[in-house]
Amino acid sequence: MAKRPGRYALRLVVVGYLFLLVAWPVYLVGKNAFADGMENINGILEDPDIVHALVLTVQVAIIAVIINTVFGVGISMLLVRYQFPGKRLLSALLDMPLSVSPIVVGLALVLVYGGRTGWFGPALEGIGFQVIFSTPGIVMATVFVALPLVIREVVPVLEEIGDEQEQAARSLGANAVQTFRRITLPAIKWGVIYGVVLSLARSLGEFGAVKVVSGNVLGETRTATLVVEEKYLNFDKGGAYATAFLLALVAVAAIIIVSVIRPKEDR
Amino acid sequence: MSIEIANVTKRFGGFVALDDVSVSIPSGQLTALLGPSGGGKSTLLRIIAGLEQADSGRVTIEGLDATNLPPQKRNVGFVFQHYAAFKHLSVRRNVAFGLEIRKRPKDEVRARVDELLALVHLRQFADRLPSQLSGGQRQRMALARALAVEPTVLLLDEPFGALDAKVRKELRDWLRRLHDEVNVTTVFVTHDQEEALEVADEIVVINEGRVEQIGSPDELYDQPANDFVMRFLGPVTQLGQQLVRPHDLQIHTGTADPAAVTGRITRVTRIGFEIRVEVTTADQIVTVTLTRNEFLSLGVQTGDTVQVQVAEQVHIGAAYPQTLGAA
């Protein structure tokens, strides 16, 4: 009985903390977005430059998620199923995008791929492929910052299922591709889906790295997060909140949908 | 000979798992690879299956050199200790897996799977997921799955090791009967000598990466090649310089004679139908096991002086230098 009040107090603290830090501020963004009814939302949806920014953001996020999913599942298999020298170093390196500030990522990419002074950029530009201040640069920056998310979701699942099912499939005549498609992939399915959702949310919301590499050209390389900043700084708070609301809506919706459809027994 | 293993060596880092092992495993029989944990028996089984690569040596399966074949081309069935059930597939789909990979016609797959599920008594569970089965049922499913592809050899790695004692005994009997029905060359790994003696036609004793002895259960038990095999296959005790089985010793209360050793009964333990008598001689403690009737007809008790000797026509181990306690 003595435990009870303590437990309730703890719950109250956690709920209060999350409410003040996360729920209430996010709610206010939504509230402000709809302060004048649908006016703010309609306003940004009628502006072709902002629509372009939203479309660009979604395109970049989808490409980045596809790249990170394919690469992430591959790297996870490598990390869990194979022994090789330098494995711990690789694993530590994969966490770097989470620890380094995105703005540093942006600057680093400019140093390598910058069109005029970059280490690799002038050569690429010479064959007509512009990276920095263009969509490829935005995609690269986004891929970089969201890199570990799929891997960190998939690695624990791969470790937990072990490799006996895969060995059994091999002994029953399945080759590597068949084993992966029929056995490994279904087993890690929910880890991959979770990683994809987190990556998608992260990719939609990336700001710092994208700001550096995109050049922030209206109607060309300005993404949705950059629109939010621009509008906010220009005292168009309604437009800023409306755009922010759309960004948050997609990310939160994705996470909620996955938590709802994920089967309970898998957790 | 169905499986020929010639001069196989396997190291894991500095640890030698198999040291120049050569074994021939006969066709159509049930062979046990028996030995203590870490002795290399599972490694040998996995090399036969192609799940491990030998550092050197050759593996031939039914005349086909399999040394460099990947596991999926060896046509072996493999059963794992922890079942390795495909968790997202129903029992039926688990058993059908190998046939689906081989792109057999649907009707044929269905008929074959039904037949196998009947064989392993899992017909009514066909549409369940493995997580809804008991351990014993999962292992029978794994066995049906391995048999579905009509393997040249069936390999089982400690197949009953994860099950409780009662289920283990049931499955052991059932495996023996199944083997007599299906007749596929079967090799199973176990560290349980009772399991090996009871089920196998032939036993290969493996210890510290080497083959200690190959033979029928009777040969191994009655004519062990060395002390290790003798100790590993059953209880032993020492009488003078001889290593003997406790049930091969006799006690009598008569006068001292040159063939016997005099001692005093220091402990009597009853384990079911068996009586274990500890006799302390001048320099050692000898364990003798008797049936309850033998013990009662002797009419002895703790503290009595008795004569211990080896019953006639039994095998005794080579002279063994150090003194042993009760085995």
**Contact check, Cβ <8 Å, A171/B102:** no
Same domain, B257 and B206: no
Q: Which CATH architecture has domain A34-266?
A: Orthogonal Bundle (1.10)
Q: To the nearest whole percent, how much of chain B has pLDDT over 70? A: 95
A186 min Cα distance to partner chain B (Å): 7
Least confident of A213-217, B55-59, B191-195: A213-217
Residue A90 has phi, psi (to 5 degrees) of: -60, -45
Same domain, B257 and B299: yes
**Contact check, Cβ <8 Å, A171/B85:** no
Q: Is the separation of the CB atoms in B277 and B251 below 8 Å?
A: yes
**Contact check, Cβ <8 Å, A168/B84:** yes
In DSSP terms, B27 is beta-bridged to none
Would B317 be classed as within a structural domain? no
Tell me how many domains chain B contains.
2
> Which pLDDT score is estimated for A153?
93
Would B223 be classed as within a structural domain? yes
One-letter amino acid at A111 equals: L
Distance of CA A71 to the CA centre of its chain: 14
> Which pLDDT score is estimated for B314?
62
A92 min Cα distance to partner chain B (Å): 25
Question: Is the predicted pLDDT of residue B325 greater than 60, yes or no?
Answer: no
Structure tokens that stand for B220 in this block: 């191994």
Mutate to test the interface with B, among A172, A180, A265 (most CBs of B within 10 A): A172
**Contact check, Cβ <8 Å, B101/A173:** yes
DSSP of A100-157: S-HHHHHHHHHHHH-TTT-SSHHHHHHTT---TTSHHHHHHHHHHHHHHHHHHHHHHH
CB contact set of B316 (below 8 Å; sequence gap of 6+): B242, B243, B244, B248, B310
pLDDT in tens, A42-83: 888 999 999 999 999 999 999 999 999 999 999 999 999 998
Question: B293: domain CATH number?
Answer: 2.40.50.140
Same domain, B146 and B240: no
pLDDT in tens, B255-288: 777 878 899 999 999 888 899 999 999 888 999 9
- State chain A's mean pLDDT as an integer: 90
pLDDT, average across residues B215-232: 92
Distance set, CA B327 to CA A149, B8, B162, B247 (Å): 58, 34, 27, 12
**Contact check, Cβ <8 Å, A173/B98:** yes
A257 min Cα distance to partner chain B (Å): 22
> Which pLDDT score is estimated for B324?
40
Same domain, B222 and B246: no
Q: Is the separation of the CB atoms in A137 and A109 below 8 Å?
A: yes
Distance set, CA B48 to CA B21, B74, B155 (Å): 12, 9, 8
Same domain, B36 and B70: yes
Q: Is A117 on the interface with B (CB under 8 A)?
A: no
Would B324 be classed as within a structural domain? no
- State chain B's mean pLDDT as an integer: 89
**Contact check, Cβ <8 Å, B87/A175:** no
For residue B258, the enclosing domain spans 236-310
pLDDT in tens, B140-170: 999 999 999 999 999 999 998 888 888 888 8
**Please, which pLDDT band fits residue B315 given cuts at 50, 70 and 90?**
low
Same domain, B222 and B241: no
pLDDT, average across residues B67-71: 93
Q: Which residue among A171, A187, A265 sits closest to B49, beta carbon to beta carbon?
A: A171
Same domain, B224 and B247: no
A163 min Cα distance to partner chain B (Å): 9
Q: Is the separation of the CB atoms in B318 and B229 below 8 Å?
A: no
**Please, which pLDDT band fits residue A128 given cuts at 50, 70 and 90?**
confident
Half-sphere exposure of residue A156: CA atoms within 13 angstroms, side-chain side = 10
Would B258 be classed as within a structural domain? yes
> Which pLDDT score is estimated for B322?
41
> Which pLDDT score is estimated for A116?
81
* B 17-36 residues inside an 8 A Cβ radius of A: none
The three-class DSSP label of residue B164 is coil
Residue whose structure tokens are 């512009």: A130
Q: Is the separation of the CB atoms in B61 and B229 below 8 Å?
A: no
Point out the domain boundary residue: B228, B245, B267: B228
Same domain, B47 and B112: yes
> Which pLDDT score is estimated for B316?
61
Q: At what angle do helices A185-205 and A135-161 cross, to 10 degrees?
A: 150
Would B322 be classed as within a structural domain? no
| Pairing of the two strands B185-190 and B30-34 | parallel
B87 min Cα distance to partner chain A (Å): 8
> Which pLDDT score is estimated for B88?
93
DSSP of A5-49: HHHHHHHHHHHHHHIIIIIHHHHHHHHHHTTTTTHHHHHHHH-HH
**Contact check, Cβ <8 Å, B145/A168:** yes
Same domain, B69 and B213: yes
Structure tokens that stand for B309 in this block: 């000797």
Q: What is the ipTM of this complex?
A: 0.82
pLDDT in tens, B89-144: 999 999 999 999 999 999 999 999 999 999 899 999 999 999 999 999 999 999 99
Same domain, B125 and B190: yes
Would B299 be classed as within a structural domain? yes
Same domain, B38 and B22: yes
